[in-house]
Structure 1
Amino acid sequence: MASIGRKKYFVGALVLTTSLSMSGCVQITPLQTRDTTPPAPNSPQDSSDIIVPDEADTPGALDALRAIDVALTATPGAVVELGLEQERGRQVWEVGILRTDNTGVELYVDRESGDILRETPLRLSREQTTAPAVTAHQAIETAVQTIPGRVVYLDLDSHRSNIVWEVIVQADSGSLFELYINAATGEVVKQERYDD
């Protein structure tokens, strides 16, 4: 029923725009076509959205696994997403957690000190509302066994009707790779180079 209402609105807007254009009140410019498929809520759009660790890593800087440990020590639950972000000139791990009370929280963990800088509520996606059988730790271990390097992004997502861990690894060579790891079985179901 809502679809019919939208069609009527679209037709009405089209008639009005055409009338205004013909009267010289409005100039119509051609629309550019683009992909209108909405991205996953927190998915990076391309490799320029991925922040990789500083080239000159400071000894003791937190990797993804240690950032998860810090976050889960502060807030028990299941990690459902993780990404490296830049905040006020420093790199921080954003760690999204499904709490034991089924609410979401995002913790910002300083990459150098391991301090939790702040926390904000996290709106959970459909895929993130249930703790997966394969933990974030296990998904990271599988990813770096498949592509030696370091994880810079991880998120629970869906792929071909299955819940998967979308994991982006910066390989030892510096290239980025995206892997989908089945969140129920731990099997790598997709692997590709992650470039623009």
Structure 2
Amino acid sequence: MKRRFVLAATAAAVLIAGGATTAVAVNTGGPGSPQSDARTSAQLAATAGAQGAAADGGREDREAGESGDAGRVAGAKSDAAQAAVAALRAVPGTVTEIELDEERGALVWEADVLGRDGAWHDLTLDPLTTRVLRSHTDRDTSGAHGQDRVRAALHGTTVDAASAARAVGQGRGTVTSVDFEDDHGAKAVWEVETVTRDGKEHTYLVDPRTAAVSTAPADDRDDHDGSADDHDGADD
């Protein structure tokens, strides 16, 4: 039988961090021995501490991101209603979506307008002055039946994009997007997204006939992608 030699003397180090004390001991005990159990406990405690620190760091990153969202919104100066009105001055018709977005690192308002000329118009507006920076007209008639569907859904409505933004923007945060959804259950609605001062996003539904505001169901908030390219129900 070979004898077990002690190659290192027992040492202890105590680290105090965040009110917790962790002791690490060097020993030669085998698996199942008191020394081994103590070493395993210390390793688990150290791992838990590292995971806690990582979680704290992730939470701080999320909070910083939320603060950044609020800061970007504050830098827009103009609101969604003003941007929608400006888009209609440039292209007569109906604004079906207005969204605050970033383009090449710069903040802009992007608007979709179903024009009186029967075409979709994509506009980019300055968030400070609401001046139209760029405009693109899609005269592809392949999606004409999609336009007809949107027009049918809009028929008889009395609440436009600007009005929907004003209805939600009273005490519910800063409106970052207004989107006409004609496939929202049995009736069409305006889907309005906001950002509050704490950087949190919220989604509301506005009745296009009465301007009544309700909170969007969780599933609708998760499924909505806010893509301006979809032209709010127009077929691709």
What is the aligned residue count?
Answer: 145
Residue segments in structure 1 that go unaligned for 5+ positions in a row: 1-47
1:128 aligned residue? 150
Larger Rg: 2
Q: What is the root-mean-square deviation in Å for CA atoms of aligned residues?
A: 3.0
Cα separation, 1, equivalents of 2:104 and 2:129: 15
Under a length normalisation based on structure 2, what TM-score does the superposition of the two structures give? 0.52
Whichever structure has more strand as a proportion of its residues is 1
Over the matched positions of the two proteins, sequence identity in percent amounts to: 28
TM-score computed with the length of structure 1 as normaliser? 0.62
Give the secondary-structure state (helix, strand or coil) at the position aligned to 2:169. helix
- The corresponding residue for 1:102 is 118
Amino acid at match of 1:159: H
Aligned to 1:118: 134
Corresponding residue number in structure 1 for 2:209:
184
SS in 1 for 2:88: helix
Question: Is 2:100 the counterpart of 1:84?
Answer: yes
Change (3 A) 1:189 1:162: farther
Write out per-residue CA displacement over residues 4-26 of structure 1, whole angstroms, 9 at most, x where no aligned residue: xxxxxxxxxxxxxxxxxxxxxxx
- Point out the more displaced range, 121-130 or 169-178: 121-130
Q: How does 1:1-196 map to 2 (within 5 A)?
A: 52=69, 54-55=71-72, 57-58=74-75, 61-121=77-137, 128-130=150-152, 131=154, 132-145=157-170, 147-157=171-181, 158-191=183-216
**In 2, Cα distance between the equivalents of 1:195 and 1:171?**
18
Conservation of the 8 A alpha-carbon contact between 2:70 and 2:195? no
Q: Which is helix-richer, 1 or 2?
A: 2
Could you tell me whether the CA contact under 8 Å between 2:96 and 2:179 is conserved in 1?
A: yes
| 1:102/1:129 contact within 8 Å kept | no
Alignment-mate amino acid for residue 191 of structure 1 = A
Residue 109 and residue 192 in structure 1: after superposition, are their counterparts in 2 closer, same or farther (change >3 A)? same
| 1:153 to 1:88, Cα distance in 2 relative to 1, 3 A | same
Report the CA distance shift for 1:125/1:85 in structure 2 as closer, same or farther (over 3 A): farther
Distance 1:69 1:161, change over 3 A: same
Where does the alignment leave 5 or more consecutive residues of structure 2 unmatched? Answer: 1-64, 224-236
